[in-house]
Amino acid sequence: MVDRARLRRRAVTVLTVLGVAACYFATARLGLLQQLVHGQVTPLWPPTGIAMAALLVFGVRIWPGIALGALVVNGTIDPSPLSVLLITAGNTLAPLCSLLLLTRVGFHKDLDRLRDALALVFLGALAGTLISASAGSAALVLSGALPAAEFWPTWLVWWTGDAMGVMVVTPFLLAARRARWPRGVAPARWIEAAVLVAATLAATLLATDTAPSLLFLVFPFLIWAAFRFERAGAACCALGVSTFAILAAGRMTGPFADYGLAADMIVLQAFNGVIALTALLLGAAVTERNRTHHEIRRLCARLSEKLARQDQ
């Protein structure tokens, strides 16, 4: 029985590792549709968000899945063995270091506190991804695929792309893992959710397809999603808005039509960063406030019950 249980646990671990590798590869192929530099540097790299979420949920034991996914992806787009190994090492070490930093500060993967949102942004997204950006850009230079003069521009796009992956994709996945089909929800709530989705989609399409810069139009809907639907609503809204903005930047339409690549990337990454930061912080703050409110109500109810017993 002990051997069977051990074999079952090992089989589950192997399947989880392979599942992480498959998700990493699939989302990498999607991310590469918007590549900007040397066919492998994008403004949003979803696999980093996948890797971060997988480590937070399953633990360090699934790191071979991240390494396998990164190795296969980079092996298909870069024939240089040195470049492939360096990029794979950076892509694997970056989320592992982010996990170590988050663990040191007592991070909660439920993102139910404001401090957790801040930790994910500054330690998980901005700090850990310095490793992958540095290793990847250096690998391209060393392999001769990138001129040395292009190191820092490439590094900046790589770093912000990986950071956006953590800030946008990881919160969505952490919220999705706890998603359940709601029961007993009033019809008005469903109507509100449908109106929010339609209004957010319309505002995003208008903001990203209109020549004047109307990107600010999406923020009221992001705030609406955070206040009314907490973390899940804010995470879904941020992911959708960022995706449409990246597609518009790739087509160089709307507010991204009149500038060069460098200026477009500055505007895009600044916009996506503010969207992700607003969604994370506001969603966590609202969740923490609501949880505190419910706890106060529960304690008040218990106190009222005790006082009622004493009066009897």
pLDDT, one tens digit per residue, over 157-214 is 899 889 999 999 999 999 888 777 777 778 888 899 999 999 999 999 998 888 767 8
Q: What is the pLDDT of residue 200?
A: 94
Measured in degrees and rounded to the nearest 5, phi and psi for residue 49 equal -65, -40
The residue with greater pLDDT, 3 or 225, is: 225
Q: What is the pLDDT of residue 176?
A: 87
**Quick check: 312 pLDDT over 80?**
no
Q: Which amino acid is residue 185, in one-letter code?
A: V
Range with the lowest mean pLDDT among 32-36, 74-78, 204-208, 306-310? 32-36
> Which pair of tokens denotes residue 106?
């007592």
Secondary structure element (H or E) that encloses residue 153, with its range: helix 151-164
The answer on 212 and 86 residing in a single domain is no
Long-range CB contact pairs, 107-112, < 8 A, 24+: 107/56, 109/56, 109/57, 109/174, 110/174, 110/178, 111/171, 111/174, 111/175, 111/231, 111/280, 111/283, 111/284, 111/287, 112/231, 112/284, 112/287, 112/288, 112/291
The answer on 59 and 155 residing in a single domain is yes
The answer on 134 and 26 residing in a single domain is yes
* Domain span including residue 266: 182-312
The SS3 of residue 208 is helix
**Quick check: 277 pLDDT over 70?**
yes
The answer on 244 and 167 residing in a single domain is no
**Quick check: 231 pLDDT over 90?**
no
The answer on 161 and 15 residing in a single domain is yes
Q: What is the pLDDT of residue 251?
A: 80
The answer on 216 and 113 residing in a single domain is no
Domain boundary among 157, 179, 201: 179
Range with the lowest mean pLDDT among 6-10, 70-74, 242-246? 6-10
**Quick check: 135 pLDDT over 90?**
yes
Domain boundary among 111, 145, 179: 179
The SS3 of residue 235 is helix
Measured in degrees and rounded to the nearest 5, phi and psi for residue 179 equal -70, 135
The residue with greater pLDDT, 8 or 219, is: 219
- How many other CB atoms are there within 10 angstroms of residue 71's CB atom? 21
pTM of the entire predicted model: 0.88
The answer on 198 and 147 residing in a single domain is no
The answer on 84 and 55 residing in a single domain is yes
The residue with greater pLDDT, 169 or 260, is: 169
Q: What is the pLDDT of residue 70?
A: 94
The answer on 222 and 277 residing in a single domain is yes
**Residues of the chain with pLDDT > 70: what percent?**
94
Q: What is the pLDDT of residue 38?
A: 52
Predicted confidence (pLDDT) per residue in 54-95, tens digit: 999 999 999 999 999 999 998 888 768 888 999 999 999 999
Q: What is the pLDDT of residue 308?
A: 78
**Domains: count for the chain:** 2
Q: What is the pLDDT of residue 236?
A: 92
**Quick check: 302 pLDDT over 90?**
no
> Which pair of tokens denotes residue 96?
């592992």
> Which pair of tokens denotes residue 66?
């991240």
The answer on 129 and 56 residing in a single domain is yes
- Interacting residues of 21 by C-beta distance below 8 A, sequence separation 6+: 64, 65, 66, 68, 69, 72
**Quick check: 41 pLDDT over 70?**
no
**Quick check: 305 pLDDT over 90?**
no
Q: What is the CA radius of gyration of the chain?
A: 22
> Which pair of tokens denotes residue 171?
């919160």
Instruction: Grade residue 18 by pLDDT with cuts at 50, 70 and 90.
Output: very high
The answer on 186 and 175 residing in a single domain is no
Q: What is the pLDDT of residue 170?
A: 95
State the DSSP code for 258: S
Q: What is the pLDDT of residue 76?
A: 86
**Quick check: 6 pLDDT over 90?**
no
3-class secondary structure per residue, 98-138: HHHHHHHCCCCCCCCCHHHHHHHHHHHHHHCHHHHHHHHHH
CATH of the domain at 156: 1.10.1760
The answer on 114 and 56 residing in a single domain is yes
Domain boundary among 149, 179, 209: 179
CA distance 254 to 258: 8
Instruction: Grade residue 268 by pLDDT with cuts at 50, 70 and 90.
Output: confident
